[in-house]
Amino acid sequence: MSERNQGPGIGVYVCHCGGNISDHVDVDKVAEAAARMPDVVTARLNPFMCSDPGQDLIMEDIKAGLIDRVVVASCSPSLHETTFRNALVRAGMNPYLYVHANIREQVSWVAEGEGATKKAVSLVASAVAKARLIRSLDPIRVEAKDHATVIGGGVAGLKAARDLAMHGLQVVLVEKTPFLGGWVARLDTLFPTGDDAVELLNTLYRQVSGLHNVEILTCAQLVAQEGYIGNFRLKVTRRPPQTDEERKKLAWVRASGQVGAGVVPFVGICPAEPPDDPEESEFTTGAVIMATGFSAYEPRRGEYGYKEHPEVVTLAELIRQMAGGTSRDGHLVINGKPVKTMAMIHCVGSRQIPGLHEPGEDGRLNQYCSRTCCNSLLHAALRIRREHPETVIFNLYRDIRTYGRGHEEAYIAASENQVRFIRFLPGTPPAVRREDNGYALSVTVRDALFHEDELEIPVDLVVLGTGMQPAPIKELTEVMKCQTGRDGFLQEVHPKIRPVEVASAGIFLAGTCQAPMDMTETVAAASAASAKAGSILSVGAVELEPFVSRVDTLKCSACCTCLRACPYGVPKIVDGAAYIEPASCYGCGACAAECPGKAITLEHSTDEQVLAGQNAIIRFQPPAVGDRHEETGR
């Protein structure tokens, strides 16, 4: 008989998902089987359960007193679990008296025919078995301090700090160098508009520095963190400049008395005097925005002749050299020499191929596209052709990826401006060697568009379009307990549903710490992160999911197994027993699984609930339509 207490029963609602499920699963058989499961009092079908009519089915049955538990068999819970919980709330039921069965991603998208239907019935049986044992839960409510911290002083960090402060929050911006501005401070103009990068940066800085509720800490690093969303306790250490380059640039700023971007070429903004001695400070903050940026790929010695031939430079180096460059007879002049012909090579340090490219020091290949390199090279080529029309430019590429607004137009404009484009095969990159034919170098490339003919191009300059890499922030990610993806960038929860959040509640991502982005995308991501953080902190409190681990102190022997098992360092020993702060718990269940005394229980996934679901999958045999439900004791 039923293991549940006396009550109305369980309602099962099976979704067609507009054919995504019903084209592969016999949903009528699923509903028929569900109707015969223990404690199920109704089983209904709908083409779109997530639609208003679908939700109304659930709400009507709740309001009529027909059911007190809900199982929905539909798509991934990450898409619509919240949708159905909200429907329960509107009908006056606790939102956690609900179990989701994923019969789209786990069934219809991976199985066909009778096997798909049997698997769907088994998953519904598992959900029903769990639903018989679940109980009402209350969300965890914690107070949230109206204060936010932004880590990183580039454009993303400045934009996030500005938006948070405009939201009425107190903001601390932490930047590890003496200067603000990040990589944008190393540019002169921006693609595709041609806007002055220095002026944009100065404007943004003036907006931030003019706000009374923003504190800027340069030469500062976050070294320790504890607490949880709404109440993070951070420790920040400020130190004098760490590199000779920083000290030289600071000396120039002090001598000139200027602080704005551009006063020293490609330095950035120096808003305050750095400390003469290390100093520490601690403060409490409600949310943290990671805006730590990226690092540029540095070619290995010998890669396309880099560091072997002075005429081989990265695009960033070319931009710096062009800042003081001149024109002679229509040619670009670099280091006093006219550039009659140059070659620009795409995808250097991006889209790397296993077996062809050498991994970096961390053993990782950059197999992703850095997205901005093509546009940056096109922007530079167009500028050179317009300002130095006698300089001939060859673009050597695997693929041209101009994906944003105005980007394809730049590619067309470059073609019309006589920039030559040569496509090479991925496995046959260009070769660069010293030449004695009136030019500095010779570039050999196989033209993939013309029968793979080998071309030899004499050039005065080779420009490498280097990509983006994750910033070297391993220590910081460990302090903040942030996860990284396979590419090394910080990992969001979901690229579409929760694009600026990490698994740790209260920590958000802004800009290129997350993935390669251009300026427009970086600013948009910063605004999204600040809007998400601001919407939480401005309320003064936050409600968290109650799916956390609880300790029965009477069973706990303080063996410390949970301390070793937890990947987030949440459990502590307090008064002779383990204690888990609910607001800090990630609900991963590692401690509950490892506890030898069974003193820890994970809410909504207790041992009894999980085992009941597993046993239902193992034992349940889907009945034919018209037959009664049976279980076997295999």
Note the pLDDT tens digit of each residue in 180-210.
Answer: 999 998 888 888 888 888 889 999 999 999 9
Which of helix, strand or coil describes residue 380? Answer: helix
> Quick one: which of 547, 564, 549, 565 has its CA closest to 599?
549
Which of helix, strand or coil describes residue 203? Answer: helix
Residue type at 129?
Answer: A
Residue 624 pLDDT > 60, yes or no? no
Four-CA torsion 164, 170, 176, 181, nearest 10 degrees: 40
For 296-467, CATH number?
3.50.50.60
| Token digits of residue 306 | 């880099």
For 1-137+606-634, CATH number?
3.40.50
Q: What is the pLDDT of residue 269?
A: 86
Spatial distance between the Cα atoms of 400 and 216, rounded to a whole number of angstroms:
40
Residue 30 pLDDT > 90, yes or no? yes
Domain boundaries, the chain: 1-137+606-634, 147-293+471-542, 296-467, 546-603
In angstroms, what CA-CA distances link 506 with 125, 167, 220, 534? 36, 17, 21, 11
The model's confidence at residue 324, banded by pLDDT at 50, 70 and 90, is low
Class of domain 147-293+471-542: alpha beta
Between 3 and 84, residue with greater pLDDT: 84
Task: Find the mean pLDDT for residues 164-184.
Answer: 94
- 546-603 placed in CATH 3.30.70.20: yes
Tens digit of each residue's pLDDT (9 = 90 or more) over 239-294 = 998 888 888 888 877 777 777 766 555 567 888 788 888 999 999 999 999 999 99
- Is the CB of residue 372 less than 8 Å from the CB of residue 402? no
Residue 454 pLDDT > 80, yes or no? yes
> For the chain, how big is the Rg over CA atoms in Å?
30
Neighbours of 68 (CB within 10 A): 21
The model's confidence at residue 634, banded by pLDDT at 50, 70 and 90, is very low
| Token digits of residue 124 | 């519904």
Q: Is 38 exposed, middle or buried (0-12, 13-18, 19+ CB in 10 A)?
A: middle
- Is the CB of residue 29 less than 8 Å from the CB of residue 35? no
Q: What is the pLDDT of residue 91?
A: 97
Residue 629 pLDDT > 60, yes or no? no
Q: What is the pLDDT of residue 263?
A: 59
Name, of 88-97, 243-252, 324-333, the range with top average pLDDT. 88-97
Average pLDDT, the chain: 91
Q: Which residues pair with 280 in a beta bridge?
A: 237
Residue 475 φ/ψ, nearest 5 degrees: -65, -40
Q: What is the pLDDT of residue 112?
A: 86
Residue 508 pLDDT > 80, yes or no? yes
Q: What is the pLDDT of residue 625?
A: 43
Task: Find the mean pLDDT for residues 298-323.
Answer: 92
Residue 608 pLDDT > 90, yes or no? yes
In angstroms, what CA-CA distances link 10 with 93, 134, 227, 442, 609? 13, 11, 39, 76, 15
Q: Please provide the size of the chain in residues.
A: 634
The domains spanning 147-293+471-542 and 296-467 adopt the same CATH topology: yes
Spatial distance between the Cα atoms of 72 and 56, rounded to a whole number of angstroms:
13
Share of the chain above pLDDT 90, in %: 76
Comparing 257-271, 339-353, 379-393, 503-517, the range with the smallest average pLDDT is 257-271
520 DSSP 8-state letter: H
Q: What is the pLDDT of residue 451?
A: 77
Q: What is the pLDDT of residue 628?
A: 43
Comparing 2-11, 268-277, 546-555, the range with the smallest average pLDDT is 2-11
Q: What is the pLDDT of residue 245?
A: 82
Residue 604 pLDDT > 70, yes or no? yes
Strands (E), 123-201: 140-143, 147-151, 170-174
| Token digits of residue 10 | 């369980």
Q: Is 92 exposed, middle or buried (0-12, 13-18, 19+ CB in 10 A)?
A: exposed
Task: Find the mean pLDDT for residues 52-68.
Answer: 96
Which contiguous run of DSSP H or E holds residue 77?
helix 77-90
Task: Find the mean pLDDT for residues 519-530.
Answer: 96
Residue 29 pLDDT > 70, yes or no? yes
Q: What is the pLDDT of residue 632?
A: 39
Tell me the CB-side half-sphere exposure of residue 66, using CA atoms within 13 A.
17
Neighbours of 600 (CB within 10 A): 24
Task: Find the mean pLDDT for residues 438-449.
Answer: 90
Spatial distance between the Cα atoms of 224 and 277, rounded to a whole number of angstroms:
19
Residue 130 pLDDT > 50, yes or no? yes
The model's confidence at residue 630, banded by pLDDT at 50, 70 and 90, is very low
Residue 4 pLDDT > 70, yes or no? no
Residue 633 pLDDT > 70, yes or no? no
> Quick one: which of 26, 135, 21 has its CA closest to 80?
21
Spatial distance between the Cα atoms of 559 and 600, rounded to a whole number of angstroms:
12
